[in-house]
Amino acid sequence: METQRTADADTDASPDPHEAAMQALVDAGYPAVLASVTDAEGKTSNLALGQGDLATGEAPPVDGEVRIGSNTKMFVSTIVLQLVDEGQLALDAPIDTYLPGLITGDGVDGTKISVRQLLQHTAGLPEYADKVAADAFGAQQTYISPRDMLDVALERPAAFAPGERWAYSNTNYLVLGLMIEAVTNRALATQIEDRIAAPLGLEHTYLPAPGERQLRGEHPRGYHAETAGELRDISDLDPAFGWAAGALVSTPSELNTFMRALLDGQLLSAEALAEMQTTVPAGSELTPGAAYGLGLQSYPMSCGGVAWGHGGDIPGTQTRNAIGPDGTAVTIAVTALPWAIVSPDDNERLLAQYRMVTDALDETLCVQ
């Protein structure tokens, strides 16, 4: 694949120290990579490599808008904890306190699941996303409401008893989105704008409106595949299936700005931030050594120390992002998911492909 390089206008002619790690992602088959590095002093360097549009060969825009998938959960958890700070929610109160009678099913009881357990993925709620978004291209032009997605989840039995163990479920954040709207009597999109995006000056960070399929700002095209390697444009996508669990749009640099503000205590009280960073083990073959707090994940760094962030996968984009111990924030977005490039049947190659972006994140955080 022919590679094009674009960078900030104020970038000098010297080579970017992180370019090799990003170029390796393009060489591995990702159409484009957009990266942003913000150091502890707040200086930001943005880089874009590859092809932003495979049809035209156009270079990807530096710091363009991308769908950030499950990074949405960091924003939702921040709002929930702001509401805890304000006394409108309590972490150890049951769901039923705020959504009476809504969460019920086979082994599912909203009177026995706490807000904390939703945030930390220890609630045992069954997953909805694998059914609703199983056919990415089929869902591309389809709007589905949060309540309808919740109904899909509650047709299934509970995965486990509340608090029994950790297991990632997008349904937890679907419920938290509904809870935010019920408690504040305002739309989740409005809460994200008013509580986070506007105060931090994030002009390209937003939750798309129902039926809004096109990104609002300059962006690379995103690609997906029904058969690995046969990439098709999936940029114009109704992300309703993600909603509070994964529909947010941002840019790499704006995601860095948000993470730095969050961990710097600009958005939450010290007590709420400490709760957010209280973790349970969440390591897996994909993320060895990881731990999960309240919408925030920690990762052991290869050079020592712990990085805090999240990450997101949505058809057309994979994003990995974190802040290292020295305060450096890094976000890397590639314009396809690993299984659009490598067959899911080849587990060893798929695992290696999946880890590439996380490894590039780790390398970038360590090489400062």
Helix/strand/coil (H, E, C) string of 304-338? CCEEEECCEEECEEEEEEEECCCCCEEEEEECECH
Which letter does DSSP use for residue 368 in this model? -
In a domain, 130, yes or no: yes
pLDDT at 10: 42
pLDDT at 284: 85
Burial 157-189 (b: 16+ CB within 10 A, else e): ebbbebbeebeebbbbbbbbbbbbbebbeeebb
Which letter does DSSP use for residue 203 in this model? T
> In Å, what is the CA distance from 106 to each residue of 94, 116, 126, 155, 176?
18, 21, 10, 8, 20
pLDDT at 283: 86
135 Cα distance to chain centroid: 20
In a domain, 12, yes or no: no
pLDDT at 3: 42
Question: Quick one: CA torsion of 140, 146, 149, 154, rounded to 10 degrees?
Answer: 170
In a domain, 245, yes or no: yes
pLDDT at 7: 57
pLDDT at 321: 98
In a domain, 185, yes or no: yes
pLDDT at 13: 42
Q: How many CB atoms lie within 10 A of CB 355?
A: 17
**Closest by alpha carbon to 116, among 166, 155, 150, 75?**
166
**Domain CATH code at residue 150:** 3.40.710.10
Say if residues 238 and 143 touch (Cβ distance below 8 Å). Answer: yes
Residues 178 and 98: their CA atoms lie apart, in Å, by 9
Entry field: residues in the chain:
368
pLDDT at 282: 95
In a domain, 8, yes or no: no
Entry pTM: 0.95
In a domain, 11, yes or no: no
Total domains in the chain come to 1
**Is 269 considered catalytic here?**
no
Q: How many CB atoms lie within 10 A of CB 62?
A: 22
In a domain, 72, yes or no: yes
In a domain, 40, yes or no: no
Structural domain boundaries, residue 309: 64-354
Query: With left for phi above 0 and alpha for psi between -120 and 50, is residue 196 left, alpha or beta?
Result: alpha
Among candidate residues 36, 70, 253, 298, the one labeled active-site is: 70
pLDDT at 6: 62
| Per-residue pLDDT of the chain in tens (368 residues, 90 and over written 9) | 334 556 553 444 445 778 999 999 999 999 999 999 999 999 999 999 999 999 999 999 999 999 999 999 999 999 999 999 999 999 999 999 999 999 999 999 999 999 999 999 999 999 999 999 888 998 888 999 999 999 999 999 999 999 999 999 999 999 999 999 999 999 999 999 999 999 999 999 999 999 999 999 999 999 999 999 999 999 999 999 999 999 999 999 999 999 999 999 999 999 999 999 999 999 888 788 999 999 999 999 999 999 999 999 999 999 999 999 999 999 999 999 999 999 999 999 999 999 999 999 999 999 86
